[in-house]
Structure 1
Amino acid sequence: MIIYGTALLAACHLLGIFIGDLLGQAMGVKTNVGGVGIAMLLLMLARLYMLKHDKLPKLTELGVEYWGAMYIPVVVAMAAQQDMVSALRGGPVAVLSAIAAVAVCAVVIAAINRGEKLSPDDEAEARLNNPLVAAEE
């Protein structure tokens, strides 16, 4: 059953690479644009869909979780292969897109944190662990 998680990842990876190639062609570049990221988003969406409809056995979910954990080292390795010097020489688009990506991530993380509801135990622990809150009381 764990192999089904790997099969789901493979299907999402192939579809993500295909979409990334199409996106690259639409942008006029001869490269894959965001295929691995698209694949991970597809994997997350497929996992959530299957969980919602009770179509994801526990062992399959373990396979999906394993590959989800392996995703970050794979992306770091892929990013290490990029030639940043030529990207920066190509124009300010690389710098602007990096700044925009960081800004969007910060806004999304802030929105998630503000939307999270803490249980009474979590609030008490937050007060104990935060010296600024404890000083105000």
Structure 2
Amino acid sequence: MIILGVALLSGSLLIGTFIGNLVGSLLGVDANVGGVGIAMILLILSTNLLARSGRLRPETSAGISFWSGMYIPIVVAMAATQNVVGAVTAGPVAVVAGVAAVAVSFLLVPVLARVKTPGIDEPVEVFVEEA
């Protein structure tokens, strides 16, 4: 069922948002700090756990694949609500953190490309909407 994939994504987003708000309050910032990133990590981990245990159905995978196509526009919309000018003019920390995150991401691409899930020989089936 496609709805299960969407439910898994929604649960990950809610938990990630809660943790992001908690981290923001611990840092003394009135903002969500890393909530979307935490949500994506939770989604990847939970999907991987379901795939390893053989409980990830193609229908569930289709729900996740559908929303993964919407990920970039959602992140762009969320970033538009942030006060980037205020963060950059307040000091170099925002720029350094952004550059460091991008550099680490680029360095981890080859490492993550080599990771294989036992028992899964092919990538997760892509959701194709029929006309």
Under TM normalisation by the shorter chain, which class is it? 0.7 to 0.9
- Looking at structure 1, the residues matched to 82 and 23 of structure 2 have their Cα atoms a distance apart, in angstroms, of 18
> Aligned ranges for residues 37-76 of structure 1 at < 5 Å?
37-76=37-76
Question: Which residue of 2 is the match for residue 7 of structure 1?
Answer: 7
Q: Secondary structure at the match of 1:17?
A: helix
| Structure with higher helix content | 1
The one-letter amino acid of 1:68's match is S
- Looking at structure 1, the residues matched to 112 and 63 of structure 2 have their Cα atoms a distance apart, in angstroms, of 27
State the shift of 1:69 in Å. Answer: 2.0
Cα deviation, 1:71-112, whole Å, max 9, x if unaligned, reads: 121111211232221111111111111121122122223545
Alignment CA distance shift 1:44-1:112 (3 Å): closer
- Looking at structure 1, the residues matched to 98 and 89 of structure 2 have their Cα atoms a distance apart, in angstroms, of 15
Structure 1: gaps spanning 5 or more residues: 117-137
State the shift of 1:65 in Å. Answer: 1.2
Which segment drifts farther, 1-10 or 83-92? 83-92
Alignment CA distance shift 1:111-1:58 (3 Å): closer
Q: CA RMSD in A?
A: 1.7
Larger CA Rg, structure 1 vs 2: 1
Question: Which residue of 1 is the match for residue 90 of structure 2?
Answer: 90
Cα deviation, 1:32-87, whole Å, max 9, x if unaligned, reads: 10111111111111111001101111111100111122112111121123222111
Question: Which residue of 1 is the match for residue 24 of structure 2?
Answer: 24
Q: Would you say how many aligned residue pairs link Structure 1 and Structure 2? A: 115
TM-score for the superposition, normalised by structure 1: 0.76
Runs of 4+ aligned residues of structure 1 deviating over 3 Å after TM superposition are 110-113
Structure 2: gaps spanning 5 or more residues: 116-131
- Looking at structure 1, the residues matched to 70 and 78 of structure 2 have their Cα atoms a distance apart, in angstroms, of 13
- Looking at structure 2, the residues matched to 72 and 87 of structure 1 have their Cα atoms a distance apart, in angstroms, of 22
Which segment drifts farther, 36-45 or 103-112? 103-112
**What percent identity do the matched residue pairs reach?**
48
Query: Which has the bigger relative contact order, CA under 8 A and spacing at least 6?
Result: 2
